[in-house]
Structure 1
């Protein structure tokens, strides 16, 4: 029993030590090293490429890669550069970014994001999820919850079934943290950080509002897949507009520095 209590205390201490802060100052629980999340992202990426045909058209890939490169070049330190980009042959209005520097854009999105500025808003938003460690946060929260249950049952003498559940959670960690929708706080952060990223790259941040309006209109009564996992509505646009003066300052600074992306139409 003594050993079990020590294990409980050790786990609680680990959770306290693992507290982190997001780029906008929100407290986060981060339990896993970046390398482990990167490997999860790479594995998920490989599976997606096996399951969904990739568009090998030179023009559309050049267009999307140009925008993605401009946006990711504004990331700090080692996070900038080296991102792999693919366009998937799928009519879903969707996009994603994964730990391990992977960006995927579905062809359906290109009909809704009407220009490079609007597509930069989507890519900035998705990249912001990665650099803000939102996937790690999701996996860590799920793991901590299940670990608490496990330790309680260890103290009661029942271990094996819960351990198996934990191993299953770790094996599906990428899906838990990446495929399931992010929470409202994470979405709000991704909106604002993504807005700043696109502005720093020289894309007009005002197009982000137009993009979300297009998204809302694209599906009529049935919103596109992107919005089914991303909260939408007036609150999102209000938050973007509140941040817009700051984003416009970044945009004007970028333009003054000669950052004027010209990625052309797809």
Structure 2
């Protein structure tokens, strides 16, 4: 009986996941040519609603700690840069300029920034102040994070977790795998599915972010100097094949390449050489 179930497992898993799975094109390719189809098992609306709720919780907590938008000049600066980038998002998806965008600055020593589904952005003062970012470098950071939202990378990662969970739980039930066995299978699934795609997400966000910055009149070459600064703060990072981010050398090559590709867009936007 167990052998019969084992032989039937691939077909059963495929049938289970096919019920909810769909492949979508979240964005147009733009000049940088990011046009990969993405497997989705949860709706964009669900992810956006959850993101909006989580974002409000983050803001509420920051407000309690007097860490929300404390420096008016920095807030104005960041929002001005963000608005220029947001104005170019329609190149990749027509609905994006009409999203309910929010841009806030959190006082923290952490070197971080993010953009949740639907355009909920936060940038940390530690990133701006400690790395002494120029406007072009802030645009590189924010363009990268906005690109994650445009590509719906959070939705895709959630979908892959759902798919992996289905596979692991069904396999465990059919094959009699215990708790430790399921944990091992989960780690194998994580390395197999999540790590390579996470590196892919970072590369896609780099490329789209560079194009957004160039179209908005920010020097796309600032992405290179930005990640040089970031790399100087991350000595001892794991090798690329164990990391969710591309190696510094790989990233630098790609950033340089794509910055040159979009230089004509930067010039058309009135940027300086």
TM-score (norm 1): 0.75
C-alpha distance after superposition, 1:198-226 (max 9, x if no partner):
00111111111111112222x27478xxx
- How far the C-alpha of 1:118 sits from its partner, in A, is 0.4
Instruction: Tell me if 1:247 matches 2:262.
Output: yes
SS at 1:80's partner residue? helix
- In the alignment, is the contact (CA less than 8 A) between 1:41 and 1:98 conserved in 2? yes
1:199–1:249 CA distance, 2 compared to 1 (3 A): same
1:108–1:7 CA distance, 2 compared to 1 (3 A): same
What are the within-5 Å matches in structure 2 for residues 91-102 of structure 1? 91-102=109-120
CA distance in 2, matches of 1:238, 1:188: 11
1:222–1:42 CA distance, 2 compared to 1 (3 A): farther
> How many residues get paired?
231
- In the alignment, is the contact (CA less than 8 A) between 1:113 and 1:211 conserved in 2? no
Selected match of 1:18 from 10, 18, 22: 22
Instruction: Tell me if 1:65 matches 2:83.
Output: no
Instruction: Tell me if 1:116 matches 2:135.
Output: yes
- The aligned counterpart of 1:34 is 44
CA distance in 1, matches of 2:227, 2:57: 29
CA distance in 2, matches of 1:230, 1:9: 30
- The aligned counterpart of 2:105 is 87
CA distance in 2, matches of 1:103, 1:245: 27
- The aligned counterpart of 1:106 is 124
- The aligned counterpart of 2:169 is 150
C-alpha distance after superposition, 1:78-130 (max 9, x if no partner):
21154101100101111000012110000011121521100000000001011
Instruction: Tell me if 1:126 matches 2:110.
Output: no
SS at 1:19's partner residue? strand
SS at 2:104's partner residue? strand
- How far the C-alpha of 1:7 sits from its partner, in A, is 7.8
- In the alignment, is the contact (CA less than 8 A) between 1:216 and 1:232 conserved in 2? no
TM-score (norm 2): 0.73
Selected match of 1:54 from 55, 62, 68: 68
- The aligned counterpart of 1:209 is 224
Selected match of 1:44 from 39, 54, 73: 54
- In the alignment, is the contact (CA less than 8 A) between 2:211 and 2:262 conserved in 1? yes
CA distance in 2, matches of 1:97, 1:144: 24
Instruction: Tell me if 1:190 matches 2:205.
Output: yes
SS at 1:128's partner residue? helix
- How far the C-alpha of 1:151 sits from its partner, in A, is 3.8
1:70–1:132 CA distance, 2 compared to 1 (3 A): same
Q: Which ranges of structure 2 fall in alignment gaps of 5 or more residues?
A: 1-8, 180-193, 238-242
